[in-house]
Chains A and B, each alone.
Chain A
Amino acid sequence: MGLLGMAGSAYADEAEHGLAAPSYPWANDGWFASYDHAAIRRGHQVYKEVCAACHAMSLIAYRDLIGVAYTELEVKALAAEIEVEDGPNDDGEMFGRPGKPADHLQPPYANEQAARSANGGAYPPDLSLICKARHNGPNYVFALLTGYRDAPAGISVRQGLYYNPYFPGGAIAMPRVINDGGVEFEDGTPATSSQMAKDVTHYLAWAAEPEHDERKLIGAKWICGALLCLYAMGYYKRWKWGPLKSRRIIWDVVN
């Protein structure tokens, strides 16, 4: 980032924290809003075709997508496309077999070192929990994916890094990968880079918080029930205390 003079030390913090992402109006914002599952489906497609080359999502199993983005048959077909190492067999050897819904999404690299060596020393993080692992997760991820811009005057990033104001420090190892027309959506949605970024972010938000829809449903039911209980308990208390609070006490002279 270049050395800063004494007067510039205050400004070092800005680039360090990165530009704060704005608040986008996500479909699941609000107490009663669920995920947009069509977006989750498109987002999974974007992940599979664009991001999975470098980023793992090892905590997500294919069966987690059933009822969320795909039907059971679709998930079985998706899983069967990949080969998974299993074993050892009776001869003591490891063997490859087509994937099953119970298998997790396969990482692109065998281990972190392989990932670093293939990406110039930088490790593409696992995305299973990225929306919870970053402050203001979904907004940050969307802003980052669509926020590749020319660096401000006076800032240069070294060869191999790219400028992104939202990334802490400003110099990110990932180039811009979400570009117009990069993916062909099966539902015919025009694949602009903003659309792809929005859908993949929604998918990542689901991956980090798959319980979200059920949580809000349960929350709505229980808070509603609790309010009714509150009313009933308040009424019962006032009813029991009524005689006591409305009694008259007469002090008289003892003769």
Chain B
Amino acid sequence: MVKWWCATGLVCRAAEAEEQHQEAPQEEVAEEKAEETPSEEEAPVEEEEDAPAEEEEEEEEEEEEVHDPKPELESSCKPKCVKQLLALQACEKRVEEDEGGEKHCTGQYFDYWGCVDKCAAPKVFRKLK
């Protein structure tokens, strides 16, 4: 969603993200054209070399594997939440060694994921339309 102030020329991250989104498909179109012209002109030997590359591109276009940005962003936030992560890992170790079956790590889990969420939340939407 482009906010109203983007039109005034002020710095606008949403507009930049849209530009990047438009650049990516244009790059793909340019690559296709570059591959088509050599394969038409060159000998069959070179066509074979180009064929796997073209096949790969065709496969990419047919099976567009959508890549969810959220898990990546969450793992990129790990460095900011190291303290909580170490506490969680220490707790997991204690629970593993526990015989009573009553210990659990909900508190440390919430602390860690709360920290990761707070770090990742502003970033997730920038990667989405």
A residues in contact (CB < 8 Å) with B: 2-5, 8, 11, 14-15, 19-27, 30, 32-33, 36, 38-39, 143, 146, 149, 152-155, 165, 170, 180-181, 189-195, 198
Binds A, one of B33-41, B52-60, B61-69: B61-69
Q: Is A5 within 8 A of B102, CB to CB?
A: yes
Whether A193 contacts B110 in the complex (CB less than 8 A), given A39-B1, A153-B105, comes out as no
Cβ of B79 < 8 Å from any Cβ of A? no
Q: Identify which of B65, B68, B117, B129 contacts A143 (C-beta below 8 A).
A: B117
Q: Is the CB of A152 within 8 A of B128?
A: no
Q: Could you jot down 17 A-B contacts, CB within 8 Å?
A: A8-B102, A11-B106, A19-B113, A24-B122, A39-B129, A143-B117, A149-B113, A152-B88, A152-B108, A153-B104, A154-B95, A154-B103, A165-B110, A180-B68, A189-B129, A192-B66, A192-B67
* Choice from B68, B91, B110, B117 contacting A14 with Cβ under 8 Å: B110
Residues of chain B with a CB closer than 8 A to A153's CB: 91-92, 95-96, 104-105
5 closest A-B pairs by beta carbon, nearest first, are: A154-B104, A27-B1, A152-B109, A22-B121, A22-B117
> Chain A residues with Cβ under 8 A from B128's Cβ?
192, 194-195, 198
Please judge, given known A-B contacts A11-B107, A39-B1, A152-B104, whether A20 and B114 are in contact too, CB under 8 Å: yes
Is the beta-carbon distance between B1 and A36 smaller than 8 angstroms? yes
List the A residue with the shortest CB-CB distance to B104.
A154
B80 proximal to A (CB < 8 A): no
Nearest to B126 among chain A residues (CB) is A25
A152 touches B3 (CB 8 A): no
Q: Given contacts A23-B121, A25-B125, A153-B91, is CB(A194)–CB(B114) below 8 Å?
A: no
Which secondary structure dominates chain B's binding surface? helix
Chain B hits for A25, CB < 8 A: 121-122, 125
Q: Residues of B contacting A36 with CB < 8 Å?
A: 1
Closest to B4 in A: A32
Q: Digit string of B29-50 for contact with A (CB within 8 Å is 1, else 0)?
A: 0000000000000000000000
Decide if B70 touches A146 in the complex (CB within 8 Å).
Answer: yes
B124 contacts the other chain (Cβ, under 8 Å)?
yes
Q: Does B83 make an interface contact (CB < 8 A)?
A: no
